[in-house]
Amino acid sequence: MHEHMRKSWLAVLLILPLALGACRDSGKLFELSGRLMVFNYREAKITYVMTLDPIEPIGEGQVAVTTFENPAGGAPLVIRQKLFPGHKKVTIESPPLECVVRDRSYKVGIRIERQDGTLLQAIDTTMISSQDQNMLPDRPLVVGPGYQPNPELAGHADGRLPGGRGVTCPAA
């Protein structure tokens, strides 16, 4: 019995590092904790905004490469953002968007990579807007550090210009 017990413990000791190593290499470094589409009426722009919570400390040289579906069609919007060790949250914001449609699903992919491009984690999600782009004015309402009324909108109290935003959107 004593010999059998010793072999069992030896087997556990040999398997334990493998099991712990598998947990460490699971690839889950971040958790998606928030996502929304921000409509900034004053600036007449929409952006995707996501928040990631680190599950483990952020490593030196890590980057987030985020690919956003472009609501206006065409090539996706891609940003590369350096991640900083010690940060408790990571906020990712897209460039300004055009042609956003209410209740339509837009794809977003986040790749957490080492500096050399090695993939550490991939997060795929979707964003859905509760508003249409047409609720925004055609140009920013104010300009400059003093928030002066935008002269382009003079005579257009509703923020609508005859030529609209100047973007041709795909059929919804």
Domain limits of the chain?
26-143
Check residue 11 and give its pLDDT. Answer: 41
Contact 79, 66 (CB under 8 A): yes
DSSP class per residue in the chain: -HHHHHHHHHHHHHHHHHHHHHHHTS---EEEEEEEEEEETTTTEEEEEEEEEESSPPPTT-EEEEEE--TTSSSPEEEEEE--TT-S-EEEEPPPB----TT-EEEEEEEEE-TT--EEEEEEEEEE-SS-GGGS-SS-SEETTTTEEPGGGTT-TTS--TTTTS-PPPP-
Burial code (b: 16+ CB inside 10 Å, e: under 16) for 98-123 equals bbbbeeeebebebbbbeeeeeebbeb
Q: What is the CATH number of domain 26-143?
A: 2.60.40.10
Average of per-residue pLDDT across 143-170:
92
Asked if pLDDT for residue 10 goes beyond 70, the answer is no
Q: Which pair of structure tokens corresponds to residue 6?
A: 């010793």
pLDDT digits 0-9 by tens, 82-93: 999 999 999 999
Q: Give the model's confidence band at 171: pLDDT under 50 very low, under 70 low, under 90 confident, else very high.
A: confident
- pLDDT exceeding 90 applies to what percent of the chain? 79
The more confident residue out of 25 and 144 is: 144
| C-alpha–C-alpha distance, residues 97 and 94, integer Å | 8
Asked if pLDDT for residue 5 goes beyond 60, the answer is no
Q: Which residues contact residue 84 at a Cβ distance below 8 angstroms, ignoring those fewer than 6 apart? A: 58
- pLDDT averaged over every residue in the chain: 87
Q: What is the pTM of this model?
A: 0.79
Q: Give the model's confidence band at 3: pLDDT under 50 very low, under 70 low, under 90 confident, else very high.
A: low
Asked if pLDDT for residue 21 goes beyond 80, the answer is no
Average of per-residue pLDDT across 137-149:
94
